[in-house]
Structure 1
Amino acid sequence: MTMAHRATRRTALSTTDSPALVLGDRDLAAPLHAAGAPVTLVSRPTDIARYSRYVSRWLADPRPDDDALAATLLAAARLGRQPAVLFYQQDDDLLFVSRRRRELAPDLRFVIASADLVEKLVDKAAFQDLAAQVGLPVPCGRVLDLTGPLPATAELSFPLLVKPLRRESSWDSASAAKAAVVRDGRQLDDLVRRLDGRHARVIVQQPIDGPESRIESYHVYVDATGQVAAEFTGRKLRTYPRSLGHSTAVVTTDAPDVVRVGRDVVDRLALTGVAKLDFKRGADGRLWLLEINPRFNLWHNVGAAAGVNIPATVRADLLGRPRPRRAAARPGVAWCHVKPDLLSAREEGTSVGSWLRWAVACETRSGLDPADPMPHLVGKLAVPLYRRIRRRPERPDGT
């Protein structure tokens, strides 16, 4: 029996309870599984998360055909006897659910911010305007139009932090980091050349000095009545690349000022649903709001391990069940993405032995995880074989 068949066969073995349909990865499946939800993962065929012990069933994600994805989700929801709850993890997933909410809502249960707010939070130019309108503590910034001449150097105050308006793969070909710092007009011109016309506009902001470990976050679920149902705070430990990179190690914290500022931002925006608010703490201790992501994310795995399971609380509300007991998250609970975090730790001068002792003590992990080894094994063995077969040219007889 192939691994793909094994993944499908688990459907028959799973509980008849309300399924959690997950547009996401293992870090979202884990807290739902911990709450007793049978997880149906919707992802690419090469996604190794489908082999996780936290996943009961797998469905192929047919995107870029959004119509087909909607049909897949609705068919899965109508198949079961219990109502299905939908979870979404990336920006593309968020926008799909938001823009299709009327079509999906009759058969799927989910929480999501208002359609207008979702669009404004995903687009960094619209978010900059929104922040100015409601008085959010964001760094000063402006949008640069790259289709015409750039502003004169004298009009710009270097250094500048340059970010795409949306997270897109086309940015990755120009920068390994999520953003880029340019210190003069020459560096800005060089970045524009590397973007090679793939971005018509970017946003530039005054950077907040300090390492990525000064980035702190507020995680919240606001219910339909506007009340905070669950919340916790955290801080980045490392990213890869080390500057402006993607998170490789994070830890929960006890930060009352992050909670206070986070709640104020949520109130100003009348935000409901789930959200992650990223702040950077300046040298003077002031919290600067960098972005708001109104979707589920990897932090919900470590949050659940710390005692605040936001996906489980959302699911309980949508199914009309009692919520998990509300408690403060335990500070110091860690998550790491094993391979890139080792690279980041080595770059900062940490020995392999010291890092390994720390990683073994982590409560949650992505990548190589002894508690859930199958995705890693499949990634090392089956996925490369699958890709080679897909690239193999057909024989003359068509076989």
Structure 2
Amino acid sequence: MGGPVARKSGNGPIPVDRDVPGLIVKFGGYPLHHGGVGAIRSLGRLGVPMYAITEDRYTPAAVSRYLRRAFVWPTTGTEEPEELVEGLLRIGRSIGRPTVLVPTDEEAAVLIAEHQGELAERFLFPRVDAELPRRLASKQGLHELCAEHGIPSPAAAFPQSYEEIERFAERARFPLVAKNREAFERRRRPAVNGTTRIATREGLLRLARDWGERPGVILQDYLPREDAEDWIVHAYFDAHSMPRALFTGVKVRSWPPHAGMTANAYIVDNPELADLAARFIKQIGFSGVVDLDLRFDRRDGQYKLLDFNPRMGAQFRLFESEAGIDVVRAMHLDLTGRSVPEGEQLTGRRYIVENIDLPALLAYRRSGYTTPHAPAHASGTELAWLAGDDPLPFLTMLARFVRPGANHLCQLWRTSRRGSTHVRPPVGN
């Protein structure tokens, strides 16, 4: 496939193929998703025609100057797979040429993997074992894979009944954390609202009474923030599970505090963590973009894998190399048969999500928590929403966020002052 070479100022040529569009694929209602906007801008600035699935015509993604067309398709994420596949194929026929898929949530990543045969006639995407993304997105599946391959992860239990929870409670060490076992449960009737810290045996038994006959939860060892550090890895792995772009960073703040979406982060070189991630992904044979959350436990000196998102993370634009490569650009280049330019990551670069970092900052200051390894000064800052060459997504975010967002933030702030017991991270984290 042809196409001129696009340039990014200060980084030299990036041999992008402008004949191959990109499509942001998202299922469910979360219109204020900065990751999708970031991907549209990242490839759009190189001249790649960009398309996106949106909830309506007035989402931040839909108004980006770099978006060729928004396909308005409100979904819940609970539709039958055949319906979603047919919807994607209709969009592919409308675009009219092979298109790189960029999923922003687990539902999209799993659907693409499990229906590779049907989707391959219209789209380009990394080929992977059809069952692997669903297993990685599952807390239980990920825990089992970590145990199988010798990757540290927090101690966990997967009770199948209330009686098992009662027996577990007799020997458990509190506090502990409860999470939904499957990522998809957030679309249906989740047992818990995101990450739930449980302080006592009585509290566990009280909550468990509402979890039904077969509790869909994972009960996990709690890693206290005073003894832990939050790290993230974003990478793109090719068809041979070799890293074509791999970045490490430290999460400074999240919202809700200590349990939600990244609000502020830095690139920090961590060769040990990079090696751990590359080794694990080679062992499991994954191909594509990954977003990993790990917590360094100072008590035993181990990096423990908490979450494996088999798709682009919302904060992926934190990470860029000296050659101007991020994970989305690396994927597009690789899938179109182009080489991925090499370059060191831009250490010290900072990422801020404007609409959630201020409340996160206030909450973290109140708790007295500071993040180790965060540089005193940023070498450069990437804002999630505000961009001088593409201002409308920021303005649209403000218009949609201010009124309902203020009510939501007030609710979360009251929760955080009570100890952050129940928090629901946004979808597409």
Q: When the two structures are superposed, what TM-score results if normalisation uses the length of structure 2?
A: 0.75
1:44 maps to which residue?
Answer: 55
Larger Rg: 1
Which stretch shifts more, 243-252 or 212-221? Answer: 212-221
Three-state SS of the structure 2 residue aligned to 1:215 is: strand
* Contact 1:161-1:204 at 8 Å conserved across structures: yes
Aligned residue in 2 for 1:86: 101
Number of the residue aligned with 2:202: 186
Q: 1:33 aligns with which of 36, 39, 44?
A: 44
**Distance 1:383-1:266 versus aligned 2 partners, 3 A rule:** closer
1:158 aligns with: 174
State the distance in 1 between where 2:321 and 2:25 align. 21
2:272 pairs with 1:257: yes
Alignment-mate amino acid for residue 223 of structure 1: D
- Distance (whole Å) between structure 2 residues aligned to residue 217 and residue 383 of structure 1: 27
Alignment of 1:131-150 (within 5 A): 131-145=146-160, 150=165
Deviation, structure 1 residue 51: 0.7
Q: Which amino acid aligns with 1:136?
A: I
Give 1:308 deviation, angstroms: 3.1
Q: For residue 335 of structure 2, what is the aligned residue in structure 1?
A: 318
Structure 1 CA distance, aligned partners of 2:378 and 2:277?
A: 32
Residue by residue, what CA displacement relative to the aligned partner does 1:251-304 show, whole Å, maximum 9, x if unpaired? 111111111111221122122222122211111542111121111122322223
Distance 2:203 2:320 in 1: 42
**Structure 2 letter corresponding to 1:158:** F
In structure 2, relative to structure 1, the CA distance for the partners of 1:213 and 1:366 (3 Å cut) is farther
Task: State the Cα distance separating 1:70 from its structure 2 match.
Answer: 2.7
Over 3 Å counting, the alpha-carbon distance change for 1:228 and 1:141 in structure 2 is same
* Aligned twin of 1:372: 390
Write out per-residue CA displacement over residues 6-37 of structure 1, whole angstroms, 9 at most, x where no aligned residue. Answer: xxxxxxxxx97221011152122222223321
Amino-acid identity (%): 22
Indicate the residue corresponding to 1:61 in structure 2: 73
Cα shift readout 1:221-268 (whole Å, capped 9, x = no counterpart): 221133221111111110112132221112111111111111221122
For 1:57, the aligned partner's letter is: R
2-side partners of 1:256 and 1:337: how far apart?
26
Report the secondary structure of 2:38's partner residue. helix
- Compute the displacement of 1:332 (Å): 1.4
Q: Deviations over 1:128-153 (max 9, x none)?
A: 22222222211211102355563233
Aligned to 1:18: 20
Q: Is the 8 A contact 1:222 1:273 kept in 2?
A: yes
2:363 pairs with 1:347: yes
State the shift of 1:326 in Å: 1.0
Q: Distance in 2 between matches of 1:67 and 1:198?
A: 30
What does 1:200-239 correspond to in 2, within 5 Å? 200-210=215-225, 214-239=229-254
Contact 2:139 2:181 in 1 (8 A): yes
Where structure 1 has 5 or more consecutive residues not aligned to the other structure, the ranges are 1-14, 351-357, 386-399
Residues in 2 aligned to 1:252 and 1:188: alpha-carbon distance in whole angstroms: 37
CA distance in 1, matches of 2:386, 2:191: 27
Tell me the distance in 2 between the aligned counterparts of 1:173 and 1:86.
Answer: 31
Distance 2:398 2:171 in 1: 51
Q: Which amino acid aligns with 1:20?
A: G
CA distance in 2, matches of 1:108, 1:148: 47
- State the SS of the aligned residue for 1:126: helix
Q: Is the 8 A contact 1:240 1:248 kept in 2?
A: yes
Structure 1 residue 112 displacement after superposition: 4.6
Q: Which has a greater percent of helix? A: 1
User: Could you tell me whether the CA contact under 8 Å between 1:16 and 1:81 is conserved in 2?
Assistant: no
1:212: Cα distance to partner? 10
Cα offset for 1:337? Answer: 1.4
Higher relative contact order (CA 8 A, sep 6+): 2
What is aligned with 1:5?
none
Q: CA deviation at 1:123?
A: 1.2
Structure 1's 135 and 308: CA in aligned 2 closer, same or farther, altered over 3 A? same
Residues 377/228 of structure 1: CA separation in 2 closer, same or farther (3 Å cut): closer
Distance 1:200 1:71 in 2: 33
Does the Cα contact within 8 Å between 1:233 and 1:254 map onto a contact in 2?
A: yes
Amino acid across the alignment from 2:62: R
- TM-superposed deviation, 1:209: 2.5
1:67 to 1:232, Cα distance in 2 relative to 1, 3 A: same
Q: Does 1:308 align with 2:335?
A: no
Q: Is the 8 A contact 2:228 2:296 kept in 1?
A: no
Of the candidates 132, 136, 145, which is equivalent to residue 117 of structure 1?
132
Compute the displacement of 1:373 (Å).
2.5
Q: Deviations over 1:136-191 (max 9, x none)?
A: 2112111023555632332322221211113315678954xx41221211221343
Change (3 A) 1:53 1:251: farther
AA in 2 matched with 1:299: Q
Q: Is the 8 A contact 2:182 2:216 kept in 1?
A: no
Q: CA deviation at 1:327?
A: 0.6
- Verify the 8 A CA contact 2:162 2:208 in the aligned structure 1: no
d(CA) in 1 for partners of 2:304, 2:176: 16
Which residue in 2 is equivalent to 1:245?
Answer: 260
- 1:138 partner amino acid: S
CA distance in 1, matches of 2:163, 2:54: 39
C-alpha displacement at 1:349, in angstroms? Answer: 2.8
Separation in structure 1 between the aligned mates of residue 200 and residue 402 of structure 2, nearest angstrom? 43
2:21 counterpart letter in structure 1: P
Amino acid at match of 1:70: V
Structure 1-normalised TM-score? 0.80
**Which residue identity is paired with 1:314?**
M
CA contact (8 A) 1:338 1:359 kept: no
What one-letter code is carried by the residue in structure 2 that aligns with 1:29?
Answer: I
Which residue of 115, 129, 136 maps to 1:100?
A: 115
